[in-house]
Structure 1
Amino acid sequence: MSHFSLSDIPFMTDRTVVVTGANSGIGHVTARIFAERGARVVLAVRDTDKGRAAAATMAGAVEVRRLDLADLSSVRAFAQDFTDPIDLLINNAGVSLPPLSKTTDGFELQFGTNHLGHFALSNLLLPRIRQRVVTVASLAYLVGSIDFSDLNWERKRYRANPAYAQSKLANLLFTAELQRRLSAAGSGVIATAAHPGISATNLMRADDPSLGFRIGKSLIGLVAQNADNGALPTLYAATGNIPGNSYAGPGRLMGMRGAPKLVRPAANARNVSTARRLWEVSEKLTDVTFPLATAHTSGTDPQS
């Protein structure tokens, strides 16, 4: 079992870290810790006012750039404007359990933001990434499935929980297929994933008036760990001495809390054919493809 803690995170001088959704919750903690370790940290956020407020609470080299993962034109603009090398990309941002909503490009909001937005961002930035792509998933993936016949909930009745679970399963399938492609390209970059267990953050939309939402949030509060502890699996996935396609999560209470360790994903996240098919569909939906077919990327890993 891992005993990873903040003291195990190396100094990050001369490293650049991009964290999506870094204005609050786990993303905020992740960005703050990397800045404290000497990294140049870019807060990639939809609301730049909130991003600047978050940056003001952090010490070190922190900057704010606008990124709306629910708008592929914003993703492309962010990637085009970011010309510097990136050591770590932390795909942290996400939405959870909204009413039926669509992204700018017409995708169901959770699938479009949590998966497709990060899929496009990672591939567009990949030629400049030197070390790792870390994607934050969730225990919700355990009950997820990929409905290729209706990814965007256009035919069946929309249900927020299964839609969220599908998007989080997609995060793990994306990580597995990205690592396969990186290895095939001879790249030194690795793809890893993490989940925070049950963490008290504002991911769930607090304006939901339903009794079920309020009861669920109260129950979560009984077992949830704070955002600082919830960020540890992400930090471990980003800096630990671990192989590609590793999945880090809390080590106690069935993965709900505790120090992070590597965990084996369930069978639905290990299906190679599903991962490849999802990748191919995602390329078509975003018009973004894997860029390293003939490239070779290498870098100094943050744990070294």
Structure 2
Amino acid sequence: MTEHITTPFDVESTAAQVVAGIDLTGRRAVVTGGASGIGVETARALASTGAEVTLAVRDTSAGQRVADEIGGNVRVAAVDLADRASVAAFVAGWDGPLHMLINNAGVMATPETRTPEGWELQFATNHLGHFALTTGLHRFLAAEGARVVSVSSAAHLMSPVVFDDIHFVERPYDPWAAYGQSKTANVLLAVEATKRWAADGITVNAVMPGGIRTNLQRHVGREAMDAMIAQAVEDGFRLKTPEQGAATSVLVATSPLLEGVGGRYFEDCAEALPNDGNMVSGVAAYALDPAAATRLWEVTEKTLAG
């Protein structure tokens, strides 16, 4: 049994607080979805350490506005995670070492939508695109050993990866089940990548940012979202500011306390405990299952090669 990891930070800590005193001058980071929500605050905190930060975004105009507002050494590059060619172009355009990759972008509870390949959009964006990006950048991450952060969600508790019908071909489409399995996939990526890339000094961890009102919720009606949040708060969920929501990602990407730690799931700036049946906290056993992680990696490679 590995030791449960805690840090001096907690549910109320902000991204700025967790990087206070950390100098990452000369280090390079990529933040997907860095033009909105917690991505902005993640990028801001990383830039404050002296790191060079690239915002990997669909809307480069929005990305440039964020880069100008943050200041420092912040760059912008285009990537659409649901488009294989776009991800490949980003990878082809990267040069030199990469020390931190924050797989932060995502879509949530979208109406049933498929990519040209027929892939369900949430799985394609949240998992397949980030898998292609992460594996494509592997040689740069391995240059000096690096940290990858896979931004998951408590919504992973809604569904394991349903390997028999990942893309809702046979079963009725459910936007939350689709989102949930894509977030479970984010955790399984951390488990398997850490195992496969340990010799390269690369560690990959998954994080749950917390409940934050962002543009991520644009596909959910306001009334429905308000009702969900009210129920979650009643169940013990705590809403966070974007600055607090970015804290766990930034902690896992930068803290000396987590050197060499990989394959785990963090929430509120600490390693999560096993889920006890609630729907707002903890990590499901199926999300950390090594056999499922290996299977997902192999299925994903085959999918992307098709």
TM-score computed with the length of structure 1 as normaliser:
0.86
**Structure with greater proportional helix content:** 2
Closer, same or farther: CA 261–84 of 1 in aligned 2, 3 Å? same
Amino acid across the alignment from 1:224: L
What secondary structure does 1:193 align onto? strand
Structure 1 residue 54 corresponds to structure 2 residue 54 = no
CA distance in 1, matches of 2:227, 2:140: 44
Q: Which runs of 4+ in 1 moved over 6 A?
A: none
Alignment of 1:101-180 (within 5 A): 101-129=113-141, 130-180=145-195
Structure 1 residue 84 corresponds to structure 2 residue 89 = no
Tell me the equivalent position of 1:273. Answer: 291
Conserved? CA contact 2:18–2:247, under 8 Å:
no
Alignment of 1:168-247 (within 5 A): 168-183=183-198, 186-205=199-218, 208-209=220-221, 211-216=223-228, 223-240=238-255, 241-242=257-258, 243-247=261-265
TM-score computed with the length of structure 2 as normaliser:
0.85
In the alignment of these two chains, the number of paired residues is 276
CA distance in 1, matches of 2:292, 2:55: 32
What secondary structure does 2:163 align onto? coil
Q: What value does the CA root-mean-square deviation take over the aligned residues? A: 1.9
Amino acid across the alignment from 2:246: A
Amino acid across the alignment from 1:231: A
Structure 1 residue 209: Cα displacement:
4.3
What secondary structure does 1:224 align onto? coil
Structure 1 residue 194: Cα displacement:
1.0
Structure 1 residue 266: Cα displacement:
2.3
Tell me the equivalent position of 1:261. Answer: 270
Structure 1 residue 263: Cα displacement:
1.6
Q: Which runs of 5+ in 1 are unaligned?
A: 251-259, 289-304
Amino acid across the alignment from 1:286: L
Structure 1 residue 179: Cα displacement:
0.6
Structure 1 residue 147: Cα displacement:
1.2
Conserved? CA contact 1:237–1:246, under 8 Å:
no
* C-alpha distance after superposition, 1:235-265 (max 9, x if no partner): 1111122211132211xxxxxxxxx111243
CA distance in 1, matches of 2:221, 2:184: 27
Q: Which runs of 5+ in 2 are unaligned?
A: 1-5, 274-282
Structure 1 residue 66 corresponds to structure 2 residue 78 = yes
Conserved? CA contact 2:210–2:238, under 8 Å:
no
CA distance in 2, matches of 1:32, 1:239: 13
CA distance in 1, matches of 2:216, 2:156: 16
Amino acid across the alignment from 1:140: A
Tell me the equivalent position of 1:93. Answer: 105
